[in-house]
Amino acid sequence: MKLPIVAYGDPVLRKKAEEIDEDYPNLKQTIADMFETMYAARGVGLAAPQVGLPIRLFVIDASPFAEDDEDGDGDPSLKGFKKVLINPIILEETGEKWGFSEGCLSIPDINEEVMRPSNVLINYLDENFEEHEVQLTGLAARIVQHEYDHIEGKLFIDKLGPLKKAMLKGKLDAISKGMVRVGYKMRFPHVKKKR
């Protein structure tokens, strides 16, 4: 089942999410629903707070970045880079910071260059609660860093400079009020329900 994606301005996106264990209700279904929601919205990552759940869980599938687009800068190593990360911990971020134009399904229509370290060492549980520790680099690291921020209550726009932030304020207010065209179902915090 596709879930509505929570839009910028909803307090759930600003909460530090809680760890879960294997008894979390409907976990398998929640994970399946999150993948379905992410694919329908053409995203490469989706964190639980984005569907209104304040838990430390996100799903990623970087396959779209594996295909060569018009720039010819696809990364074939990302083919099949599909993962469920539960209770992840970033152990280390290393390497030079590099810029990449990020977007977010909760903040439609805004893309801005964000600087992040190139490598990340992460520990997490998969959907079977098996523990993994992996070193990621490039776009794989980037997606994990972006989604990890979500479960910490952070958004990519927080990393922009004050001038950029000021320029985006009107657009962000409009998003929270539902004044944005978007090709998937969203839940807007500041839309008054019609009687």
Catalytic residues: 147
- Cβ density class 110-146: b for 16+ within 10 Å, e for less: bebebebbbbbebebbeeeeeeeeeebebbbbbbbbb
CB atoms within 10 A of CB 1: 7
Among 13, 44, 104, 175, binds Zn ion (CB under 5 A): 104
CB of 87 to Zn ion, least distance (A): 19
Binding mask 26-65 for Zn ion (x = CB under 5 A): ----------------------------------------
Phi (first) and psi of residue 45, to 5 degrees = -160, 150
Q: Which two tokens stand for residue 56?
A: 């430390």
Q: Give how many residues touch Zn ion by CB under 5 A.
A: 1
Segment near Zn ion (CB under 5 A), from 14-22, 86-94, 98-106, 168-176?
Answer: 98-106
Phi (first) and psi of residue 30, to 5 degrees = -60, -45
CB of 158 to Zn ion, least distance (A): 11
Site residues (vs Zn ion, CB under 5 A): 104
